[in-house]
Amino acid sequence: MARKKVSTEKKAKPAASRAVFDSIREWRQFQFQELCQRAQRLGRAAKARFALLERLAPQMGINLDEVRRQQEADWQLLQEQIKEQEKAATALLKKQSVRQRQALRTIMANADRFDYKKGNLHTTICLWKAVAPPNIIFNP
């Protein structure tokens, strides 16, 4: 059985789209490397500052144990705030999910009243059709 030859145009499209995805991947790798290097620089700078503080603290009369205790208390408070924010964000996402499901149920229950050309019902913008045309005649 003879194989069907594929034109060069069809081969070029996947290569072009692959090039886009490759460039996106390379950019994300570059951003990740920059983030890692920044974290390393910040960590080294923090260690150097703390070493300087440890050297100068006795001369200045600063109690480092008290500083460490306050830092630990701040860290615990920050962790509690993060947990509260995560709970609030989770609740908001659940509410949004419920609203989306309710909207989709309404759309599917009244699918004949929606006008759309083609595509995914989740992503298309639908126009709601009136049940009946308005009556022009007014009878008091």
**106 located within any domain:** yes
Residues 116 and 124: beta-carbon distance below 8 Å: yes
**86 located within any domain:** yes
Query: In the structure encoding, which two tokens stand for residue 22, read together?
Result: 């490759």
Residue linked to tokens 């996106």: 24
Burial class (CB in 10 A: 0-12, 13-18, 19+), 17: exposed
**133 located within any domain:** no
**108 located within any domain:** yes
Query: In the structure encoding, which two tokens stand for residue 51, read together?
Result: 């070493």
**36 located within any domain:** yes
Domain with 52, as residue range(s), is 12-128
Confidence of residue 127 (pLDDT cuts 50, 70, 90): low
**33 located within any domain:** yes
- Give residue-wise pLDDT tens across range 92-115: 999 988 888 888 888 788 777 665
- Give residue-wise pLDDT tens across range 21-65: 888 899 999 999 999 999 999 999 999 998 998 899 889 888 888
Predicted local distance difference test score (pLDDT) of residue 112 = 72
**139 located within any domain:** no
Residue type, 25: R
Q: How many domains does the chain have?
A: 1
**97 located within any domain:** yes
Predicted local distance difference test score (pLDDT) of residue 89 = 92
